Every structure is written in structure tokens, then in C-alpha cells.
A and B are shown apart, each in its own frame.
Chain A
Amino acid sequence: MKTLFINGCSFGTHWTNPSPEFVAALDCDNVTNLSKVGTSFQRACRSTIEWIAQNGNPRMVLIPITFAHRWELALNQDEDDIDGSWVPLQNSNFLSDDYKVQESSIDDVKKLVDQYYKIIPTIKTHWDKMFTDIITFSAFLEKQKINYLMWDMCNGFDKEHLNINIEPYKGFHKIDLISQNPRIIDIWKFCGNRYMRDTMPEDLRQKTPEFAHHHDSTRYKELEKYIIEYINNIK
């Protein structure tokens, strides 16, 4: 079994059937998609490591990087074999009322996330956590000798947001380590959802959000072509 392993948020779950040509081009013969709606990059790292600890190395890992502001806490009443009791967290209006949290209520969870987002002065410095996780998680995949590719799917990172041309935020030298890694598609230039939007016919493109949009399978085929071309270029 040569498994293509995909893990992200809903922008991964909407990649329902990677084409057979795409899977074969990555030298794989089956697909495991562990993506989960509404989840964070913190969850992508944790659950990928757990899946590998339980199942061994897949042939190839693809990580469409989700929104940087999301996170998770282990609060759920029930556990599953990969995610345990972890529940995804983001702005409270996106949280499902179906959460069954231990010894508490969804209203308390909403109060927490409202307070959390309220006191962060700028989300841009919060990117630092995701950049750290990208660097250390990619090192884990390399240590395991697993081929992988990551790319931003929906953030639209821009160096200007780090004040790079004025007085750069301190503590962000680590972005150079990301730029040096060819297995992370240039996070300052490429964004998966924006790329899929840009390959739409003009009339549709103008009506489609740049970053937060669930594309259909025809767009994912365009993304697959880009990925294959990119991988061939870095070989």
C-alpha cells in the first residue's frame, strides 16, 4: 500500500476524490484524507503525528494549511482514536451548538473564544505560532523520511503585515527557514484557494471570495496540476 495522506480543514475535506492520475503521479495507489471541518493547523500536526504513530509512514503527505487563527482544546465528552477529545475552536459564531463538552457547556466555550480573540491586538503576530509549527512539523516529516508538500490554502500571508518594509516585527527571523524549504510552497506568493479562484472563468472569478471559498472538484483538478508541476520542478 502506497498511501497518499491528506490532512487539513474543510478545504481538505472538499478535495473529495483526488484524481487517479494525480495519485499515480505521486507514486501512490490509495488515499487517506484525515481532514476535518473547522480544524486548526495545531490539529493537522497533532493528528498527522498520531496517525503515523498508529499506522506507519504513508508514501506522501499533503498539507493544505488552514486559517492561522484557529486552535483546539481537549474538551469533548467522547474520544476517538485519532483526535481523542480535542474540539476545534475559532470565532464563536462558527462553533457548533452540538459540542458535548465535559463538565461544562458550549456557552462557556463561546465565552472563552470571545475573550481569546478580544485581547489579541493583531492576528499577524499570532502567525508566529503557525510558522513555528510549520518549521518543526516539516522537520518531523523529514526525520520520518516521508515525502511531503505544504501550502497555504486560505491565509494569503503577506510580508507587509509583518511591517517588513518599515520596522519589521521582532522575533520573525524564523520565516527564513520556511522560505528555504522547497517542500513548503512559497507562503508569501501562493495560496491554494486564491489559485483555484484565479483559474475560474472571469465571470465566476469576480463573484468568488479570494480565500474563504469551498471550490468544486473541477477547481481541485487545477490545483492538482499545479502541485504536480511544482513537485516536478523541485525534484
Chain B
Amino acid sequence: MKTLLVNGCSFGHCWSPSDKFVASLDCDNTVNISKPGTSFQRTCRSTVEWIAQNGNPARVMIPITFAHRWEMPIGPGEQFDKIDGNWIPLQSTHAMSSNQYSEIELKNNHDEIKKLSDLYYGLIPNVIGYWDKIFTEIITISAFLEQRKIPYLMWDMCNEFDESLLIDHPHVKKTQLIKKNKMIMNIFSFCGNKYMWRHKGGDEKGFFNEHYGSSEYVNLEDYILQYMNDNLLLE
């Protein structure tokens, strides 16, 4: 079994890699543990846990989700998930679906979660903190995969990181470590959803973070394979 492990949020969940793509990566099956509404913090935790339980996959693909999302271990103890334990994804209240809320049959009630989320997002003044946290996590999860000699590829799926916003923030020199890593596709110039949006004729300033169909994902797959060929990542 040569497994391609895919892990992200809904933008990973609605991707069923084509047979051709999977074969091009020298894999013969796909395990997709992406989960809608989840954070990159969850991507790191669940990737490590999946590997601890199942051993190394042949390759890992990580479409990086929104930097502002996070998670907390507040699910009900009697319903622990094999991979996710009692972690529950969190984002702004209006973006959390009613389905997610129904998962949270906690000792807490929905109002308590909403209050936490509103306090959290009400305090944070700008995106720099979100970005610094996700950059740190990108650096460490990529090191984990390299240490285990697992080929991988990550790319931003929906943030459209803007390097010019970091100029006045000298505490994020760590982005240099990301830019040097070919297994992380150009973090400041490539965005998966925007690529699919533009490829289907969307205009430059349009809202591109939608859930695309398989034909758009095939375009993304072609881009990924071309990138990997150009950077000798398929050898």
C-alpha cells in the first residue's frame, strides 16, 4: 500500500484526487482526513496522530487552511474520535455551521462557545498574529515530515498571504525558512483556490474561496504536478 495522505479543511475534504494524479505521485490509494471548518493546528495534530497510528504514508499533501481558525479540546468525553479525540474546530461565530454546533453537546452549551469565539475574535487586532502562528506551525510540521523521510507538499489554499504586510514586523523573519523550502509552494504568490478561480475565468479581485468541483481540482492537480516536476520533487 502506497498511501497518499491528504489533510486540510473543507477545501481538502471536497478534493477527490484523480487516479492519474495519485499514480503520478507513485501512490496507489488515497486517505483523506480533511475535515470541514478545521484549523491548521488541527492539520498538524491529526497528521502526527495518523502517522503515529498507521506509520508513514508514501506522500502527504496539505492544502493550508485559514490562518485565523483554531481548536479546543471541549468535545464530550464519551464521543472521543480515534484521530481527533475531543478537539472541536473554532472560527468566528457566524462561520460555524449549525452542524458543528450540534457536535458540541458538551458540558458547555452553545452560548458558551459563542461567547468564547466572540471574545477571541473581538480582541485580535490584525492578521499578523494569525500568520506568525501558522508560519511557525508550517515550519515545524514540515520538519516532522522531513525527519520521517515522508515526501510532502503544502500550499496555501485560501489565505492569499501578502508579504508586504510583514515589512514592519521584524519578528517574522522565520518566513525565510518557509521560502527556502521547495516542498512548500511559493507561500506569498500561490493560492490554490485563487488559482482555480482564475482558471475558470474569475476576475482578479473576485471572491475566490468557494468549494470547487472535480474539474477545477484537476486543474489544480495539473499545476501541482508541473510544480513538482519543475522542482524535481517527483524523483
Contacts and interface: CB of A to CB of B under 8 A. Distances in A.
A32 to B, nearest CB: 16
Contacts of B76: 121
Interface in A172-186: 172-174, 176-177
A122 interface: yes
Given A121-B106, A132-B44, A136-B140, A73 B123 contact: yes
Interface stretch (A11-19, A99-107, A153-161, A200-208): A99-107
A122 B77 contact: yes
Contacts of A172: 49, 85
Interface in B138-187: 139-141, 143-144, 146-148, 169-174, 176-177
Contact of B49 (A86, A115, A173): A173
Contact of A174 (B52, B86, B146): B52
Contact of A49 (B112, B115, B130, B177): B177
Given A119-B106, A121-B77, A170-B80, A82 B171 contact: yes
B87 interface: yes
A111 interface: yes
B81 interface: yes
A147 interface: no
Contacts of A83: 171
B31 interface: no
Contacts of A80: 171
23 contacts: A46-B132, A75-B129, A79-B170, A108-B119, A109-B123, A112-B123, A119-B72, A119-B106, A120-B73, A121-B77, A121-B107, A122-B77, A126-B73, A132-B49, A136-B140, A137-B140, A139-B143, A140-B140, A143-B147, A169-B85, A170-B85, A171-B49, A174-B49
Interface of A: 42, 45-46, 49-50, 53-54, 73-75, 79-86, 101-104, 108-109, 111-112, 115-116, 118-122, 125-126, 128-129, 132-133, 135-137, 139-140, 142-143, 169-174, 176-177
Given A74-B128, A102-B126, 14 more contacts: A53-B177, A86-B129, A104-B122, A119-B106, A120-B72, A121-B76, A121-B107, A128-B73, A132-B49, A136-B48, A139-B147, A140-B144, A170-B85, A171-B49
